[in-house]
A and B are shown apart, each in its own frame.
Chain A
Amino acid sequence: MTINTIKDLLGAEVLCGSEHLENDVHSACGSDMMSDVLAYVKNQAVLLTGLVNAQVIRTAEMMDMMCVVFVRSKRPSSDMIELANECGIAVMTTPMRMYDACGILYSNGLRGNGESDG
């Protein structure tokens, strides 16, 4: 699935990284706890979250993720956008809630790639 498809499926607005929209991603995860993301994610390329602070972008960067989706219309600060740009991460915001956003992506084939401990 491309990042652009995620944008369309979630009715999301791209806030930065539009040059990455054609990149392919193969798995995703959704969490507001960054330590859980750091613990369980392997090769997931998309992070869906309702948490809005700079640590979200840094966590995504540490995990080599390509895209962060903020749910419930949350909007990151300009500092966060700048950090995401530096890290080459696409950022978007969707009005959907976490459960719905994850469900729609999952049912369209974007899986969690969860290992047994995830």
Chain B
Amino acid sequence: MNQMAEPLVFRFEVDGDNFTSAGQASVQVKKNLRQLGIDPETIRRVSIAMYEGEINMVIHAKGGEASVIVSDECIEIILADKGPGIANIEQAMQEGFSTAPDNVRSLGFGAGMGLPNMKRYTDEMQIDSVVGEGTTITMKVRY
């Protein structure tokens, strides 16, 4: 990838009312990163982490805002919602723990793998959450 003068920022509104469209922003980000010539493994890690996060925002928080910042050192993904917040982050990080409603499981998600997957594919992940106010997740993937 060419050196960048300043970081590139992609911003998306994630529609919380429509599960069918969930993941559209991640598909778009994947396209954008390909056009930038970023290596496929990095693209895959970013897009999977963002996709899981996007699905979470639709399931739990009625949508939110996703930003992807591409700089020379890393790709940063910031997912901000005004949902219910996460009461116990440690518990939420355990594989298999889920508070998703049953109907989400019939859609292929809600197995309690979302946050663990996001951590698995990124180099850094920070969760800032206030119950009743919302959650912001910041992830970094280094090249």
B27–A87 CB distance below 8 A: yes
Shortest CB distance B138–A (Å): 20
Chain B window 101-143, contacts with chain A (Cβ cutoff 8 Å), 1 for yes, 0 for no:
0000101111111101100100000000000000000000000
**Chain B, interface SS category:** helix
Given contacts A38-B51, A56-B108, contact A62 B117 (CB under 8 A): no
Tell me which residues across on chain B come within 8 A of A53, comparing CB atoms: 19-20, 107-108
B48–A36 CB distance below 8 A: no
Tell me which residues across on chain B come within 8 A of A64, comparing CB atoms: 40, 44
Residues B61-110 near A (CB distance < 8 A)? 95, 105, 107-110
B27–A35 CB distance below 8 A: no
Tell me which residues across on chain A come within 8 A of B48, comparing CB atoms: 38, 62-63
Instruction: Tell yes or no: A58 within 8 A of B by CB.
Output: yes
Residues B13-44 near A (CB distance < 8 A)? 19-24, 26-27, 30, 40, 44
Residue count of chain A within 8 Å CB distance of chain B? 21
Shortest CB distance A76–B (Å): 12
In the complex, what distance in Å separates the CA atom of A79 from the CA atom of B40? 26
A38–B117 CB distance below 8 A: yes
In the complex, what distance in Å separates the CA atom of A35 from the CA atom of B49? 11
Q: Nearest residue in B to A31 (C-beta to C-beta)?
A: B108
Tell me which residues across on chain B come within 8 A of A59, comparing CB atoms: 51, 108
Shortest CB distance B116–A (Å): 7
Instruction: Tell yes or no: A51 within 8 A of B by CB.
Output: yes
Q: List 7 A-B contacts (CB under 8 A).
A: A34-B109, A38-B117, A51-B108, A53-B20, A61-B27, A61-B30, A62-B27
**B contact set with A: CB distance below 8 Å:** 19-24, 26-27, 30, 40, 44, 47-48, 51-52, 55, 95, 105, 107-114, 116-117, 120
